[in-house]
Amino acid sequence: MPKFIFVTGGVVSALGKGIAAAAMGALLEAKGLRVTMQKLDPYINVDPGTLSPFEHGEVYVTDDGCETDLDLGHYERFTHVRTSVFNNFTTGKIYNNVITKERRGDYLGDTVQVVPHITDEIKNAIRAAATDEYDVAIVEIGGTVGDIESLPFLEAIRQFRYDVGRENVLYAHLTLVPYISAAGELKSKPTQHSVKELRAIGIQPDVLFCRADRALSADVKRKIALHCNLDLDAVIAAVDVDTVYEVPLCFKSEGLDRLLDRKLNLGHLPEPDISTWREVAKRIKEPKFEATIAIVGKYVGLKDAYKSLMEALIHGGIANNARVNFQWVDSEEIEAKGAENFLSEIDGILVPGGFGSRGIEGKIQAIRYAREKKIPYFGICLGMQTAVIEFGRTVCKLSANSTEFDAGIKDPVIYLMEKWYNHRTGKIEERSINSQMGGTMRLGAYPCVIKEGTHAHKAYGKIEISERHRHRYEFNNKYKEILCNNGLIVSGTSPDGELVEIVELQDHPWFVGCQFHPEFQSKPIEPHPLFKGFIEASIKEKRSLFP
């Protein structure tokens, strides 16, 4: 049985529980431990797949096709965890499971209640992810202590210590220590009240992460320790840093690894090897090159809608010893004012995924600008589809569009396949065009075969790959011949050749579109090959490397 670390948050939301949990995971892995991570979310949606990106940020997709909270992206980027359907549970999913069991008669006539039925289901969910193959399971509780919807999860983790033994559970709490400029000092009272709220539920934190915009003095730490009933070394400063990839280094300097050893009785473990994280931080803070990338999207008002994408671009910069600057461009603004007004000083252009017709023509204008001006271009999911539409219209003189945007278009170069072979399940899948959600999505990891001699092959360095998908519409093979005869290259397909996965141009320095989401598999210590290649092509000082 693994040891358990439960991470909660207080005072305000968005303090960085996911980063703190992931950084703990990185430190424990650096000590040679096997770690798994899980997010428990208090919202009632069964999963975030139906939530607007403006509401909740990006939807992160796992290999097995589960649509999850974006914090799972942090877990995978900081650790070697490969998340799945067992790593993210919501209130909606928990209640759905309990109600299904009640309707089936599993409770044998019992009155179904929050305690014990909901809390037992939550504990079952925790155990489903925390199998014996791991040494430590880190479980993050979404929301903030004091929120009514978080109470069942907090009660469940309170009980967990009694179920598995006090020596096997550690509670870590993240709070805010604000600086009041008028007083000229950091204030610990919000943290004290947050811990008081947690203790009223029956949970005494073992570790306290104190978020602040500056260093905590010894006096402030002593005050917090005294009023929150903690050892002094259990008050960990979580100060603002230049890059989130410095957080494992900061936690190490605060002695967190030794504290976890002692609190969880982990034994005589070696010092964590954090040299890789030092190198990552150095490359981000002391780059040799620079590239400005325009992200032409429709959700640019909330940057978390593109969280994994932003991180993957930074990883591409790490691989090239380059700083990546983001220029956020609303595709509807391009429709109104033209691409030249937004993209003339850009080193590379990226069009990310999305759904719906809003802002599509602006994306197409941006793609044409990148193609004609020979600016490195990277299209992801919808970004690949719109690249095919632009090429079909401008180069092949087709009346091209996707049936997602115009169901009656003459030349549907992108369309909804009614049937397709699912290589992951080995079955023929059907898409119901009239369903409420617009048809079945292709979700999760699927294999792809790459054509030799292409940009994609140069980037990956191999023929067979696996990437994660989240989309409904596909490249229409009816138009493959005319598109390829005019210069489009289909450089990646499904093993049977029926599903187009990657396209590129032969007369362009770097113009690649992929149907999948490569950002979901990129890590700072293992940058994704396509992002590495895109940033390399976008660095001005390296342009001479390309023919």
74, 471, 517, 528: the catalytic one is 517
Instruction: Show the tokens assigned to 160.
Output: 């967990």
Q: What is the DSSP letter of 266?
A: -
**Nearest one of 253, 254, 258 to 278, comparing CA atoms:** 253
**Nearest one of 532, 30, 530 to 277, comparing CA atoms:** 30
Q: Specify the DSSP element, H or E, that contains 535.
A: helix 529-538
C-alpha–C-alpha distance, residues 233 and 148, integer Å: 31
Instruction: Show the tokens assigned to 209.
Output: 């992460």
Beta bridge partners of 446: 467
**Nearest one of 216, 208, 218 to 239, comparing CA atoms:** 216
**Nearest one of 362, 278, 321 to 542, comparing CA atoms:** 321
Ramachandran bin of 241, using left for φ above 0, alpha for ψ from -120 to 50, beta for the remaining angles: beta
Q: Among this protein's residues, is 381 annotated catalytic?
A: yes
Contact in structure between 141 and 91 (CB atoms under 8 Å): no
- Phi, psi for 479 (deg, rounded to 5): -105, 5
C-alpha–C-alpha distance, residues 34 and 320, integer Å: 30
514, 519, 528, 536: the catalytic one is 519
Beta-sheet strands, E only, within 59-162: 60-61, 67-68, 88-90, 136-141
66, 210, 228, 381: the catalytic one is 381
Q: What is the DSSP letter of 114?
A: I
The C-alpha R_g of the chain, in whole angstroms, comes to 25
List C-alpha distances in Å: 450 to 302, 382, 418, 516, 532: 34, 20, 25, 13, 17
Let me know how long the chain is: 547
The residues annotated with a catalytic role in the active site are: 381, 517, 519
